[in-house]
């Protein structure tokens, strides 16, 4: 920045509030359902600056509190407004080491953007889009720098699972100077970011870049290791010389509808459907030998984020896709952006429809779906409107059914170590402050302790767990992550007190 240039008069808050929201440019719905390319194109520099100008730079920003990892949102937006994109990315990286992932898959409309003050009168600031812009700018211009790292402590931590929780914990532990080995059960690192989230939402190269970054910090990955089976937690702690274990195994046990025909051929769990495609490349069959008999008429049950992923994936495989959900459009748990993108891609919707049976042909292949029409009750004391059956039924043709009804926690680790306690749903019980399980030295984070949530929440917990592991390893409370800048923190406190 040239100091002598006269700075233009700063915009008033009222003016900022009135600025138009920059819509994220998207690929054309007709063309994009034929490929797996990313749907949102990303902001240009001009658009990013225009969007950044809309931020009011609140004195007490609510968005930071609404972010599970506490990104200093106004600060990074200010840097974008000033054209310091690389610094903006660095700012985000202070608290979030997967900005490119989070900018793409976080439910911002339920977190930071939900509390944005601009959103009271206008569309909230596109925080997610800006985060994505900064991260992409950093990656495309190779500005990513090594974080400052503590001297090696000589302690070793085993991280189980290489999904969002595992990777974040590994990062936080590595910069504190611990040696980290990540054990992954499949043949590819990234967990749900690789097998579950479609490429058109999160291109593989972004996850790969982040994993490459971790290896640069000295984190090592070991594949094909189902911990609990090939090595137990006890083995890791006693024989393999690890000082602590962090469990990030996620929620991988799919829930299925218990109705007649749900074990028919052509009925998949969302996990199976997505895994076959994204982990095993079944859409390149027979070059890749994993088969997937995805038909011409695909029925998807559920309306969460995963259901949207399945629908849009099936659409890209050339199917006609119909969504069945027992509540209505407004109750759909998916991220609003995903719902919007799915709507653009010509999905058929059957709201207020509860599948009760799948009819099969003589070879046990599903051919029809029978649903009961539902209606919504008045909101109960929790404010939730319950679906009530009406007794009316309808039957529709389909040749593939994908159930996307959420997951339970993967039971392998708790079932092979009696000291790790779970609640009746199989969720690992942890101390909410430290994320420590009932077994000493074993910590857990992510979907394994929530039973199914988002990438960013898993990362928030992993950060907490990593801090607790660090404290546990060092035997005493030590400085928090070097990512937190003390001087800046103090300055903030001074400002707030004034």
Partner 1 sequence: MTDRIQILIQGLDTNSVASVTRTLDQVKNLEDLTVDEKICLTEAFFEIFAHAHHTNSTSMPKLAVRAGKRIAKFGPEMMPVLFNRLVEADSETANYYGKALARNGVAGLNYLFPKLSEHRSRDHDLINLIQALAYFKIPDAASTVPFVLSVAQHVNHQVTSMALYTIGRLVQQLPPSAFSDELRQFIFSSCFRFLSHAQGLVRKNAARTLGKMLRKGLLSAENEKKLYKAFLSICGRDEQHNWDRAFIVRREAEDFLPFFHHQSVPVRRYTQSYKIKSRQLLCANTYHLTIEAPLIARKIEAGQFVIVRPHIFSERIPLSICNWDRTKGTIDIIVSAVGKTTTEINAMNIGDAFEDVVGPLGERSALPTSPGTSVLIGGGYGTGAIIPTARDIKATGNKVIGIVGARNKENLIMVSELQAVCDEVILTTNDGSAGMGGLVTDALREVLLREKVVYVLAIGPVPMMKAVSEMTRPQAIPTFVSLNAIMVDGTGMCGACRVTVGGETKFACFHGPDFDGHKVDFENLMKRQKMFVKEERLAFEHLKV
The yes or no reply on residue 218 touching partner 1 (CB under 8 A) is yes
- Residue of 48, 169, 280, 462 interacting with partner 1 (CB under 8 A): 280
Comparing CB distances to partner 1, the nearer of 180 and 371 is 180
Least distance (Å) between residue 482 CB and partner 1: 15
Site string for partner 1, 343-372 (x = CB under 8 A): --------------------xx--------
Is 216 one of the binding residues for partner 1 (CB under 8 A)?
yes
Q: How many CA atoms lie within 13 A of 465 on its CB side?
A: 34
| 162 binding partner 1? (CB under 8 A) | no
Using DSSP bridges, classify how beta strands 253-254 and 407-408 pair: parallel, antiparallel or unpaired.
antiparallel
Question: Of 55 and 219, which CB lies nearer to partner 1 in the complex structure?
Answer: 219
95 is a contact residue toward partner 1 (CB under 8 A): no
List binders of partner 1 among 287-326 (CB under 8 A): 287-293
Total number of residues binding partner 1 (CB under 8 A)? 59
Select 215 or 478, whichever has its Cβ closest to partner 1.
Answer: 215
195 vs 472, which CB is nearer to partner 1? Answer: 195
CB of 180 to partner 1, least distance (A): 9
450 in contact with partner 1 (CB under 8 A):
no
The 3-state secondary structure of the chain reads CCCCCCCCCCCCHHHHHHCCCCCCCECCHHHHCCCCCCCECCCCHHHHHHHHCCCCCCCCCHHHHHCCCCCCHHHHHHHHHCCCHHHHHHHHHCCCCCHHHHHHHCCHHHCHHHCCHHHHCCCCCCHHHHHHHHHHHHHHCCCCCCCCCCCCCCCEEEEECCCHHHHHHHHHHHHCCCEEEEECCCCCCCCHHHHCCCCCCCCHHHHHHHHHHHHHCCCEEECCCCECCCECHHHHHHCCCCCEEEECCCCCEECCCCCCCCCCECEEEHHHHHHHHHHCCHHHCCCCCCCCCCCCEEEEECCCHHHHHHHHHHHHCCCEEEEECCCCHHHCCCCHHHHHHHHHCCCEEECCEEEEEEEECCCCEEEEEEEEEEEECCCCCCCCCCEEEEEEEEEEECCEEEECCCEECCCHHHHHCCCCCECCCCCECECCCCCEECCCCEEECCHHHHCCCCHHHHHHHHHHHHHHHHHHHHCCCCCCCCCCCHHHHHHHHHHHHC
Least Å distance, CB 396 to partner 1, is: 22
Is residue 272 part of the contact set for partner 1 (CB under 8 A)?
Answer: yes
Residue 215 within binding range of partner 1, rule CB under 8 A: yes
CB of 97 to partner 1, least distance (A): 16
Is residue 271 near partner 1 by the rule CB under 8 A?
yes
**In what order do the strands lie in the sheet containing 366-376?**
353-360, 366-376, 387-397
The least CB distance from residue 71 to partner 1, in Å, is 25
Letters for 164-193 (x = contact with partner 1 by CB under 8 A, - = none) are ---------------x-x-x-xxx------
What whole-number distance in Å separates Cα of residue 429 and Cα of residue 451? Answer: 11
Residue closer to partner 1 by CB (options 245, 374) is 245
Count the alpha carbons within 13 Å of 449 in the hemisphere toward its beta carbon. Answer: 30
Segment near partner 1 (CB under 8 A); pick from 31-39, 270-278, 346-354, 370-378? 270-278
As measured in angstroms, the least distance from the Cβ of 215 to partner 1 is: 6
Applying CB under 8 A, does 221 fall inside the site for partner 1?
A: yes
CB nearer to partner 1: give 154 or 389.
Answer: 154
Long-range CB contacts for residues 283-286, cutoff 8 Å, separation at least 24: 283/316, 283/317
Q: Which of residues 125-144 bind partner 1 (CB under 8 A)?
A: 142
Q: Which is nearer to partner 1, 237 or 374 (CB)?
A: 237
Of 271 and 305, which has the nearer Cβ to partner 1?
271
Q: Note whether 220 binds partner 1 by CB under 8 A.
A: yes
- Name the residue nearer to partner 1 (CB basis): 40 or 166: 166
| Smallest distance from partner 1 to CB 280, Å | 6
Q: Judged by CB, which is closer to partner 1: 40, or 266?
A: 266
Site string for partner 1, 223-252 (x = CB under 8 A): xxxx--xxx--------------------x
Rounded to whole angstroms, the Cα distance separating 221 from 229 reads 18
Q: What residues between 381 and 410 interact with partner 1 by CB under 8 A?
A: 410
Among 201, 276, 326, 327, binds partner 1 (CB under 8 A): 276
Cα distance from N-terminal residue to C-terminal residue, the chain: 29
Asked whether the beta carbons of 388 and 373 are under 8 A apart, the reply is no
**Contact set with partner 1 (CB under 8 A):** 142, 145-146, 149, 156, 179, 181, 183, 185-187, 195, 212, 215-216, 218, 220-226, 229-231, 252-254, 256, 258, 262-266, 268-269, 271-272, 275-276, 279-281, 285-293, 363-364, 410-412
């Amino acid at each position: 920045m040239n100091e002598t240039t006269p700075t233009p008069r700063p915009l008033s808050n009222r003016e900022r509030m009135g600025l138009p929201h920059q819509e994220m440019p998207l690929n054309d719905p007709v063309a994009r359902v034929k490929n797996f390319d990313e749907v949102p194109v990303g902001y240009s520099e001009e658009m990013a600056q225009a969007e950044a100008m809309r931020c009011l730079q609140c004195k007490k920003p609510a968005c930071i509190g609404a972010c599970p990892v506490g990104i200093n949102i106004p600060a990074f937006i200010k840097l974008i407004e000033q054209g310091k994109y690389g610094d903006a990315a660095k700012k985000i990286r202070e608290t979030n080491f997967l900005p490119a992932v989070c900018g793409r898959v976080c439910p911002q409309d339920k977190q930071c953007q939900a509390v944005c003050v601009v959103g009271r009168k206008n569309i909230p600031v596109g925080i997610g889009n800006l985060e994505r812009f900064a991260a992409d700018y950093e990656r495309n211009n190779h500005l990513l720098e090594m974080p400052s790292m503590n001297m090696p402590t000589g302690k070793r931590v085993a991280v189980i699972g290489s999904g969002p929780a595992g990777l974040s914990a590994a990062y936080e532990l590595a910069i504190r100077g611990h040696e980290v080995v990540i054990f992954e059960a499949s043949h590819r690192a990234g967990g749900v970011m690789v097998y579950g989230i479609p490429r058109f939402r999160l291109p593989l190269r972004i996850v790969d870049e982040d994993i490459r970054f971790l290896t640069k910090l000295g984190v090592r990955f070991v594949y094909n290791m189902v911990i609990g089976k090939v090595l137990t937690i006890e083995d890791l702690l006693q024989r393999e010389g690890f000082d602590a274990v962090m469990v990030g195994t996620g929620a991988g046990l799919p829930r299925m509808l218990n109705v007649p025909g749900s074990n028919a051929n052509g009925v998949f769990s969302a996990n199976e459907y997505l895994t076959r495609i994204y982990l095993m490349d079944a859409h390149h069959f027979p070059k890749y030998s994993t088969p997937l008999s995805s038909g011409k008429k695909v029925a998807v049950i559920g309306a969460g984020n995963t259901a949207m992923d399945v629908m849009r994936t099936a659409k890209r495989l050339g199917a006609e896709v119909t969504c069945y959900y027992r509540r209505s459009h407004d109750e759909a748990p998916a991220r609003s952006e995903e719902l919007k993108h799915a709507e653009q891609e010509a999905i058929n919707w059957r709201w207020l429809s509860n599948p009760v049976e799948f009819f099969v042909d003589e070879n046990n292949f599903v051919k029809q779906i029978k649903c009961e029409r539902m209606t919504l009750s008045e909101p109960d004391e929790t404010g939730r409107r319950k679906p009530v059956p009406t007794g009316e039924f309808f039957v529709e043709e389909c040749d593939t059914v994908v159930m996307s009804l959420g997951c339970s926690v993967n039971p392998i680790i708790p079932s092979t170590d009696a000291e790790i306690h779970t609640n009746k749903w199989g969720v690992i019980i942890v101390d909410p402050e430290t994320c420590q399980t009932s077994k000493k030295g074993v910590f857990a984070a992510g979907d394994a302790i929530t039973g199914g949530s988002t990438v960013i929440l898993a990362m928030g917990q992993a950060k907490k767990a990593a801090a607790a592991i660090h404290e546990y390893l060092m035997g005493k409370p030590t400085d928090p992550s070097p990512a937190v800048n003390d001087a800046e923190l103090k300055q903030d406190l001074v400002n707030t007190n004034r």
